Chains A and B, each alone.
Chain A
Amino acid sequence: MAKNILEMRSITKTFPGVKALADVTLEVARGEVHAICGENGAGKSTLMKVLSGVYPHGTYEGDIVFEDKTVAFRDIRDSEAEGIVIIHQELALSPYLSIAENIFLNNEVKGAFGLIDWNKTNQEAAKLLARVGLRENPTTKIMDIGVGKQQLVEIAKALSKRVKLLILDEPTAALNDEDSDHLLDLILHLKGQGITSIIISHKLNEIKKIADSVTVIRDGKAIETIAKEDVTEDRIIKDMVGRDLEHRYPDHTPTIGDEILRVENWTAHHPQDSTRVMVDNVNLHVRKGEIVGIAGLMGAGRTEFAMSLFGRSYGTRISGKVFKNGEEIKTRTVTEAIDNGLAYATEDRKQYGLNLIEDIKRNISMASLDKLTKSGLVSDNEEFKVANEYRKSMNIKAPSVLSKTGKLSGGNQQKVVLSKWIYSDPDVLILDEPTRGIDVGAKYEIYTIINRLANEGKGIIVISSELPELLGICDRIYALSEGRITGELPIAEANPESLLKLMTMEKPR
């Protein structure tokens, strides 16, 4: 048996007008964890789609050698038959089916007369769940378990297909730290059982933690493959962006003024279960020119707080007071919140932030159409002009403002979302995970924009699950746990340890 389980040789894939992959060679050794990094749009996903047969043999140039033989997959079933299983970033589970049903979907355990043997199905599923360390009943519905556990179900499903090469596309993007750790441990555990993994990830620290080698892709080319002992974050970043990125966070000297927003005793309950407190008596304030962070684990109530504040978009039985420049304001509807100078850029831009089938122009104008309206008519030309100004000032990379936002990369989509809110001219911006799923270069740009907004005297609240990010850009950080503010640290006193301690502080019972 050769050392390499997989060799992709000189893969070139062209779309009309774009060369997505140019002569990419990838070698994955048997039994290793191989990481692939690159900015969004660099070609990582395309490469994996070539490998898994989404782009069938013949639509690309080059050879794929798997387990010592040249393969020509016509579709994903072909590659799965060989033991290559890809788990996509957006999980492909059916929420209304049970864990066991999902695991054996299209691979059903049959008994007499070709009918499904449910007892055996559940029994087999339980075995697989034990292998991935998930303690759930196989009959539990997918919608009743969290994203972290769903990810494990996906892996169990892959195991049921006798996977030899497991490909994970940004597996921890939607997970909290605890779930991420568990998942990474599992990948190492599977490695012990001889399963090779390819992991696509933006998170450099986790790559360092588990990868045996790292291949960096940039602009459709494989830049280099680095062995474990030579991996440093700086080297990967340099390869990814093609230049040294000395600082991951732009320098910023804040000019902090008077208090601009104060929230007092803010409480919100779960929309379906109104006895469950999701946001518990939160008090916080933001000053002009200040960037305030909210740190908290998944489920701490960060987004719930922000959305309940922003026009009661989340929760029931909401109470509390909001003051802007010392005067009480109401934010009962989104319109009211916007009119009072609030803006909220969501953590989930595809679901809640953008109209993906609409162009950049109309997305930017969405929250401020009134500004473009004269005697009842929206001015198309004015809208075009405004959108173009934002395209330039925010460096949105797109052929024109008439491009559909669904075709932009994550970073550019986020810039469109930010443009929309900046155009609404708010005094306070709440940015929920502003750099989620965005590559390093674009992150830097987003931070620069955030600094610029602060310098203009706006108050900024940044919600993030990445502590380094909060520590890198904020002037002051609140920690949130179980819906309560458990502490507040000026940046000088904040570090990952002190924050984590506050973030995990439990309610006295």
Chain B
Amino acid sequence: MTDIKKKASGPAAVATAPSSGIKDSISHIISDLGKNGIFLALIAVVVLFAVLTDGVLLRPQNISNLIVQNGYILILAIGMVLVIVAGHIDLSVGSVAAFVGAISGIFIRDLGFEWWMAIIASLLVGALVGAWQGFWIAYVGIPAFIVTLAGMLIFRGLALVVLGNSNIGSFPEGYRALGNGFLPSIFGDVELDPLTLIIGAAAVVGLTVGQLRTRHGRQKYGQEVEPLVWFVAKIVLVGLGIMYVAYNLASFKGIPLTLIILAVLVLIYGIISNRTVFGRHIYAIGGNRHAAELSGVKTKKVDFFIFVNMGILAALAGLVFTARLNLAGPKAGDGFELEAISAAFIGGAAVQGGIGTIAGAIIGGLIIGILNNGMSILGIGIDWQQAVKGFVLLLAVAFDVFNKRRAGGR
């Protein structure tokens, strides 16, 4: 009955009065939990494997490994979620990563590029690859599935051509740092690296300040905000998570450069997807392409640049992977596309487009990463790992569909 009353009392009441009372808080928290189901799933997976592996999962070295081993998948997932939100798909990213890794090897070994020049040039190659695919998708109108399926074959083939059926190894140190490097311990060799802890603390402070400012802004404009208790609880929870990771990294080798790259990307792409016109247009196109077009969105241009962006990120992932192995091989990046796509979908992206977040994709990627890592520690073979990951993907999307159907009401 109360629900009906609330509806009847009209919009004004909801917009102005910040909801009070325990009942409201609880209902808010429940709906929030529903929305953040994926976050809970991450926590559940962490706890599950922490227990199953007798804590090995959360050992400092393993946490560091987890980040570095999954860095390239997460980088791909960031680009992939934008592709998926716009209603496309990209099957070529694994091949592109291999191709660019190989090209970077050529730049360094055969052309004698400095490592930083090689990185920049490789990213440019990635952009060109993206432009090539974007051209066919956006301006010729061939479905992305076909274009990138072709790209998957083309760039895998070109990677083999470039490498001439051999590997390129021993990259310069600057390049290798992309995948293996850590922030230098400027405080000397101590048990707990202070720099890592400081950066961790700074991240928590930054997060808190940012969240507080958003909340204040919303309140100033009369928007509904979540109950204060819940708001604080969430920040404390996430803050503790960050500090826990920071503590563990500090007691190992410090912050991996891959993590820095990732953090910067998440920040930038979070802003791009939410706060820029380009990002808004991606969601508009995914939600209803015709309506977006008739609202003045240049859909072709947006499509084109989504793929240019994906090309650059695929190149970056290729570099990080090559750097980590210190080897550019023809088999590199095999199956990356499927992991990145899975990450985006587990993270709540909609197959039809229009829905998906960077944060979701990252969490989805982390879940896959922890599954990989946890099962490896347990000595579960690659065969079962594959099967389990398949199940998880199916379950995650099924859960999402179920959730939406329930929320859809009539």
Which A residues lie at the B interface, using CB under 8 A? 15-20, 46, 310-311, 313, 333-335, 337-338, 344, 346, 351-358, 362, 365-367, 369-370, 373, 376-378, 380-382, 384-385, 388, 391, 397-401, 407, 420
**B280 contacts which of A46, A338, A357, A362 (Cβ < 8 Å)?**
A362
CB-CB nearest 10 A-B residue pairs: A355-B287, A17-B3, A367-B295, A366-B295, A381-B221, A355-B288, A334-B296, A335-B296, A377-B275, A352-B290
Residues of B within 8 A of A333 (CB): 296, 298
CB-CB under 8 A from B11, the residues of chain A are 391, 397-400
A residues near B287, Cβ cutoff 8 Å: 355-358
Q: Are A377 and B276 in contact (CB under 8 A)?
A: yes
Distance A367 CA – B283 CA, assembled complex (angstroms): 13
**B357 CB to nearest chain A CB (Å):** 14
User: Contacts A18-B7, A334-B293 hold; do A354 and B409 have CB atoms under 8 A apart?
Assistant: no
Q: Judge whether B334 is part of the interface by a CB distance below 8 angstroms.
A: no
CA distance A17 to B296 in the complex (A): 38
Tell me if A351 and B290 are in contact (CB < 8 A).
yes
A17-B3, A46-B410 as given contacts; A313 in contact with B295, CB under 8 Å: no
Q: If A356-B288, A358-B287 touch, does A310 touch B276 (CB 8 Å cutoff)?
A: no
Report how far A353 CA is from B293 CA in the complex, Å: 10
Selected from B277, B280, B294, B410, the residue in CB contact (under 8 A) with A352 is B294
Chain A residue, CB-CB nearest to B223? A384
A20: chain B residues within 8 A (beta carbon): 410
Residues in B with CB closer than 8 Å to A385 are 221-222
Q: Does B405 contact A (CB under 8 A)?
A: no
* Interface contact B288-A354, CB-CB below 8 Å: yes
Whole-angstrom CA separation of A114 from B190 in the bound complex: 81
Q: B4 near A: Cβ within 8 Å?
A: yes
Whether, in the assembled complex, B395 has its beta carbon less than 8 Å from a beta carbon of chain A, the answer is no
Contacts of B174 in A (CB 8 A): none
Whether A310 lies near B294 (C-beta < 8 A) is: yes
Q: Which residue of B lies closest to A45 (CB)?
A: B410
What residues of chain A lie closer than 8 Å to B281, measured between beta carbons? 369
Contacts of A335 in B (CB 8 A): 296, 298
- Looking at A46, A353, A369, A373, the one whose CB has the most chain B CB atoms below 10 A away is A369
Question: Which partner residue on chain B sits nearest A399 by CB separation?
Answer: B14
Q: Are the C-beta atoms of B294 and A388 separated by less than 8 Å?
A: no
Given A18-B7, A400-B14, check contact A378 B277 (CB 8 Å). Answer: yes
Contacts of A352 in B (CB 8 A): 288, 290-291, 294
For the complex, is B218 an interface residue (Cβ under 8 Å from A)?
Answer: yes
Within 8 A of A (CB), among B221-257: 221-224
Query: Do B275 and A381 touch across chains, with their CB atoms under 8 A apart?
Result: no
B294: chain A residues at CB < 8 Å are 310-311, 313, 334, 344, 346, 352-353
- Most A-side CB within 10 Å, residue of B277, B294, B295, B350: B295
Q: Do residues B277 and A388 form an inter-chain contact, with CB atoms below 8 A?
A: no
Q: How far is the CA of A367 from the CA of B280 in the complex (A)?
A: 11
Known: A334-B294, A399-B7. 16 other contacts (CB 8 A): A15-B410, A19-B4, A351-B290, A352-B294, A355-B283, A355-B287, A355-B354, A357-B287, A377-B275, A377-B276, A380-B274, A381-B220, A384-B223, A385-B221, A385-B222, A399-B14
* Contact partner, A380, options B15, B275, B288, B350, Cβ 8 Å: B275
Chain A nearest CB from B337 CB (Å) reads: 26
Considering the chains assembled together, what is the distance between the CA atoms of A398 and B13 in angstroms?
11
How far apart are A335's CB and chain B's nearest CB, in angstroms? 5
- Interface presence of B160 (CB below 8 A): no
Q: How far is the CB of A250 from chain B (nearest CB, A)?
A: 23
Q: What distance in Å separates the Cβ of B34 from its nearest Cβ neighbour in chain A? A: 14
Given contacts A19-B4, A399-B7, A400-B14, A381 and B218 within 8 Å (CB-CB): yes
Complex CA gap A344/B291 in Å reads: 11
Of B11, B281, B291, chain A has the most CB atoms within 10 Å of the CB of B291
A378–B287 Cα distance when bound, in Å, is 19
B217 on interface, CB distance cutoff 8 Å: yes
Q: What residues on A are CB-neighbors of B218 within 8 Å?
A: 381, 384
B221 and A384: CB pair below 8 A?
Answer: yes
Q: Which among B218, B221, B293, B298 has the highest number of chain A CB atoms within 10 Å?
A: B221
B66 CB within 8 Å of chain A:
no
B353: nearest residue on chain A (CB-CB)? A357
Interface mask (B256-273 → A, CB under 8 Å = 1, otherwise 0): 000000000000000100
Chain B, 16-42, CB within 8 A of any chain A CB: none
Residues of A within 8 A of B295 (CB): 334, 366-367, 420
A376 surroundings in chain B (CB, below 8 A): 276
Task: State the Cβ distance, B331 to closest chain A Cβ, in Å.
Answer: 39
A378 touches B7 (CB 8 A): no
| A365 partner residues in chain B, CB cutoff 8 A | 280
How far in angstroms is the closest Cβ of chain A from B223?
A: 5
Nearest CB in chain B to that of A378: its residue: B275
Smallest CB–CB gap between A29 and chain B, Å?
Answer: 29
Q: Are B409 and A16 in contact (CB under 8 A)?
A: yes
Bound Cα distance from A19 to B410, whole angstroms: 12
B296 contacts A381, CB within 8 Å?
Answer: no
| B284 partner, pick from A337, A366, A373, A382, beta carbons under 8 A | A366
With a cutoff of 8 Å between Cβ atoms, the chain B residues found around residue A369 in the complex are 277, 280-281
| Complexed CA–CA distance, A400 and B18 (Å) | 13
Q: Which of B166-221 contact A (CB under 8 A)?
A: 217-218, 220-221
Please give the distance in Å from B279's CB to the nearest CB on chain A: 8
Q: Please, which residues of chain B bring their CB within 8 A of the CB of A381?
A: 217-218, 220-221, 223
Complex Cα distance A46/B409, Å? Answer: 12
Cross-chain contact B292 with A355 (CB below 8 angstroms):
yes
CA gap between A344 and B221 in the complex, in Å = 30
B355 within 8 Å of A by Cβ? Answer: yes
A335 to B15, alpha carbons, bound, how many Å?
A: 33
Name the A residues within 8 Å of B296 (CB-CB): 311, 333-335, 337-338, 367
- Considering the complex, give the chain A residue whose CB is closest to the CB of B13: A399
A405 to chain B, nearest CB (A): 10
Report the separation of the CA atoms of residues A338 and B290 in the bound assembly, to the nearest whole angstrom.
Answer: 16
A358 touches B284 (CB 8 A): yes
Q: Count chain A CB atoms within 10 A of each CB in B221, B224, B294, B354 and give the residue with the most.
A: B294
- Which chain A residue lies CB-closest to B277? A369
- Residue among A19, A344, A378, A388 making CB contact with B276, cutoff 8 Å: A378
Nearest CB in chain B to that of A19: its residue: B4
CA distance A346 to B288 in the complex (A): 14
Q: Are B277 and A17 in contact (CB under 8 A)?
A: no
A381 to B224 Cα, complex, angstroms: 11
Name A373's closest neighbour in chain B (CB-CB). Answer: B277
Question: Distance in Å from the Cβ of A439 to the closest Cβ of chain B?
Answer: 17
Whole-angstrom distance between the Cβ of B106 and the nearest chain A Cβ? 36
Q: Which of B3, B290, B297 contacts A16 (CB 8 A)?
A: B3
Taking the closest CB of chain A, its distance from the CB of B171, in whole angstroms, is 36
Q: Once bound together, how far apart are the Cα atoms of A353 and B277, in whole Å?
A: 19
Q: Determine the distance from Cα of A62 to Cα of B281 in the docked complex, in whole angstroms.
A: 48
Min CB distance B137 to A, Å, is 20
Q: How far is the CB of B288 from chain A (nearest CB, A)?
A: 4
Q: List 10 A-B contacts (CB under 8 A).
A: A20-B410, A46-B410, A335-B298, A353-B291, A356-B288, A358-B287, A362-B283, A378-B274, A380-B217, A388-B15
The complex places the Cα of A399 from the Cα of B17 at a distance, in Å, of 13
CA distance A15 to B406 in the complex (A): 11
Residue in B4, B15, B224, B292 whose beta carbon sits within 8 Å of that of A17 in the complex: B4
Chain B hits for A358, CB < 8 A? 283-284, 287, 354
Q: How far is the CB of A435 from chain B (nearest CB, A)?
A: 19
Q: Which residues of A contact B223 (CB under 8 A)?
A: 381, 384
> What's the Cα separation between A192 and B201 when bound, in Å?
82
A363 to B389, CA, bound (A): 37
Task: Enumerate chain B residues within 8 angstroms of A367, measured Cβ to Cβ.
Answer: 295-296
Instruction: Report Cα–Cα, A270/B48, bound state, in Å.
Output: 61
B-side contacts of A311, CB under 8 Å: 294, 296
Please measure, in the bound complex, the distance between the C-alpha atom of A381 and the C-alpha atom of B223, giving whole angstroms.
8
Are A18 and B4 within 8 A (Cβ)?
A: yes
Q: Are B277 and A366 in contact (CB under 8 A)?
A: no
Which residues of chain B are within 8 angstroms of A351 by Cβ–Cβ distance?
288, 290-291
Instruction: Please give, as numbers and ranges, the residues of chain A lying within 8 Å of B409 by CB-CB distance.
Output: 15-16, 407
